[in-house]
């Protein structure tokens, strides 16, 4: 079964058209019941500048600006570590068709060492030119913020099997403890590496096209801090199936080391 909240190749091509303003998407039929998928279901439109470090990636994923040259995203969104000039990052806007959007090509991808489709779902994309006009999103390096209520945002589908969005959507989701989450997913969770969030009743979640985007909350000083990376889930916003996110605090030192090696 497909477990990711990344777009297929055809949908990624459609996303590129949405970004360019050349396509209007109609809602397709609902996804099959046995599909694992990650858009923000139950969300509302974000205001321009509200989350200025959000990034849209041309392969149909999200990300966050880790530094002026690096985007933090999900490993399942990218290929192997190495030179890669095929990805376009769109930044600085909530409207993907805005004339003020910033677009930058990639020049290198770093995928988490040992990634094999289960856990270790993080990657860094190095941009060909730095983006110095936007703030970055710091990552959690302790578990102190791995609880409470989180915010998610993305341009993915607003319902399971739905179309990608032109405007950035946001939503709040509560923490779900590892035991409860693991029971929902019949033991497929990797508790040390993954963190869950969502409502027992469903209705609010990330969805197809949100993979790689950040899950974040306020830290003790009131600043935004990233605690998760959109990874996978069963359907979108289904009751008793919370979203599953890469637990950033677990990988913080590895991410920092990789970023340093990439010059960022």
Task: Confirm whether 215 is domain-assigned.
Answer: yes
**Which two three-digit tokens encode residue 54?**
């959000």
In whole angstroms, give the CA distance from residue 255 to residue 264: 11
Residues 6+ apart with CB under 8 A from 24: none
Can you tell me the distance from the alpha carbon of 64 to that of 69, in angstroms, rounded to the nearest whole number? 11
- Catalytic residue at 210? no
Q: Structural domain of residue 151, as residue ranges?
A: 138-250
The pair of structure tokens assigned to 204 is 């609010």
Q: What is the DSSP string of 192-211?
A: TTEEEE--TT---B--TT-T
User: What is the reported pLDDT for 250?
Assistant: 98
Tell me if 164 is assigned to some domain: yes
**38-82 pLDDT, tens digit each:** 448 999 999 999 999 999 999 999 999 999 999 999 999 999 999
- Provide the domain count of the chain: 1
Phi, psi angle pair for 141, to nearest 5°: -115, 10
Summarised one tens digit per residue, pLDDT across range 163-196 is 889 999 999 999 999 999 999 999 999 999 999 9
Please report, for the domain that includes residue 183, its CATH number. Answer: 2.40.10.10
Is 106 noted as a catalytic residue in this protein? Answer: no
Q: What HEC string does 20-42 produce?
A: HCCCCCCCCCCCCCCCECCCCEC
Asked if the structure places residue 4 within a domain, the reply is no
pTM of the model: 0.89
For residue range 105-149, what is the model confidence (pLDDT) as tens digits?
999 999 999 999 999 999 999 999 999 999 999 999 999 999 999
Asked if residue 1 has pLDDT above 70, the reply is: no
Q: Which of 106, 211, 231, 249 is catalytic?
A: 211
Confidence at residue 36, expressed as pLDDT on a 0 to 100 scale: 39
Taking residue 47's Cβ as centre, other Cβ atoms within 10 Å add up to 10
Q: Residue 53 class from Cβ within 10 Å (0-12 exposed, 13-18 middle, 19+ buried)?
A: buried
Please give the Cα distance from 148 to 14 (Å, whole number).
Answer: 36
Q: Are strands 138-139 and 224-232 parallel, antiparallel or unpaired?
A: parallel
Cα 100 to Cα 93: distance, rounded to the nearest angstrom: 7
Residue 217 domain-assigned (yes or no): yes
Is residue 82 a part of any domain in this protein? no
Q: What percent of the chain has pLDDT over 90?
A: 82
Is 8 a catalytic site residue?
no
Under 8 Å between Cβ of 213 and 189? no
Q: Could you tell me if residue 257 is inside a domain?
A: no
Alpha-carbon distance of 211 to 21, in angstroms, equals 22
Q: Does residue 242 belong to any structural domain of this protein?
A: yes
Q: Which residues of 122-134 are buried (b: 16+ CB within 10 A; e: fewer)?
A: bbbbbbeeebeeb
Catalytic residue among 58, 67, 106, 121: 121
Q: What is the dihedral of CA 218, 220, 225, 228, to 10 degrees?
A: -80
Out of 58, 67, 76, 205, which one is annotated catalytic? 76
Residue 186 burial (10 A CB sphere; 0-12, 13-18, 19+): exposed
**Separation CA 220–CA 198 (nearest Å):** 23
Task: Assess if residue 205 is contained within a domain.
Answer: yes
């Amino acid at each position: 079964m497909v477990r990711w909240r990344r777009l297929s190749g055809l949908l990624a091509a459609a996303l590129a058209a949405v970004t360019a303003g050349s396509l209007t998407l109609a809602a397709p039929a609902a996804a099959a019941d046995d599909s694992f998928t990650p858009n923000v279901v139950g969300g509302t439109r974000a205001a321009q500048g509200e989350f200025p470090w959000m990034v849209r990636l041309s392969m149909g994923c999200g990300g966050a600006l880790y530094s002026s040259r690096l985007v933090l995203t999900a490993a399942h969104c990218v290929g192997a570590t190495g030179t890669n000039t095929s990805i376009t990052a769109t930044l600085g806007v909530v409207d993907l068709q805005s004339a003020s959007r910033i677009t930058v090509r990639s020049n290198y991808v770093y995928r988490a060492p040992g990634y094999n489709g289960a856990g270790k779902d993080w990657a860094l994309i190095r941009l060909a030119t730095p983006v110095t006009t936007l703030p970055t999103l710091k990552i959690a390096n302790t578990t102190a913020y791995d609880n409470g209520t989180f915010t998610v945002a993305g341009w993915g589908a607003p319902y399971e099997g739905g179309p990608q969005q032109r405007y950035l959507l946001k939503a709040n989701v509560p923490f779900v403890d590892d035991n409860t989450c693991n029971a929902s997913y019949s033991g497929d969770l990797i508790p040390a590496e993954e963190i869950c969030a969502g409502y027992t009743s469903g209705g609010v979640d990330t969805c197809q096209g949100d993979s790689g985007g950040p899950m974040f909350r306020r830290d003790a000083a009131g600043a935004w801090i990233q605690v998760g990376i959109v990874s996978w889930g069963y359907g979108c916003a289904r009751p008793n199936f919370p979203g599953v996110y890469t637990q950033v605090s677990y990988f913080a030192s590895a991410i920092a080391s990789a970023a340093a090696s990439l010059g960022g």
